[in-house]
Structure formats: C-alpha cells, structure tokens
Amino acid sequence: MDETDRRRIDARSRSATSGEWEVFVRETTEAALQHVGSVTAPNADVAHEQATRLFGAELADVWVAPATAVTRFVADGVETEAGTEGGAPAAGVEES
C-alpha cells in the first residue's frame, strides 16, 4: 500500500443547537459498511430518520455516529474546504 502523507481534520458542529452525524450504510447484510455522508440533527434518533430519508429506506443497516467521535485524515493536496487545498490547512485543520 502506498504511504501517503495525511493531516487531521478536526470536527466542527454545523449548528449551535444540532450536532453533525456521520452516516454509514450497508446495502445488504453481506455488503461492507461504507460512509455515505452526514446529517445535522439534535440526537441519534433524528439523525437516523434523516439518514434513512436521504440515503434510502431499503438499506440493510444505517449507522449514525457523532462527527466528534469520527477522526478524519485527508491526503495532502485534497481539498478540505472551498478554495483550500494543497499544503495550506483549512480552519480547524491540524497538521501532523
């Protein structure tokens, strides 16, 4: 596997009253779990409802996790926010 330099992206809430939830789905019971996006919701139940509406009610599994519980690392040169790419980290980006 290729060794790629990565930097950590710190999670930030989109709203003062709601948290961001990362959504993972499995299309069939045999399929691998995959990240499909995120939703903003006040709790896990509402996040699950939104994720099911957005990503499909026919899925075998829908997992939601608080974005603060998921650590994101991006490869150098990958755009992290509009207009920010390469070695210049966006706000909330911690270089390693």
Ordered by start, the domain boundaries in the chain are 6-94
Tell me what pLDDT residue 72 has.
Answer: 82
pLDDT in tens, 4-46: 776 665 655 455 557 999 999 999 999 999 999 999 999 999 9
Class assignment of domain 6-94?
alpha beta
Backbone dihedral region for residue 35 (phi beyond 0: left; psi -120 to 50: alpha; all else: beta) = beta
Tell me what pLDDT residue 40 has.
Answer: 96
Q: Which residues contact 47 (CB under 8 A, 6 or more apart)?
A: 21, 23, 39, 41, 64
Answer yes or no: pTM beyond 0.75.
no
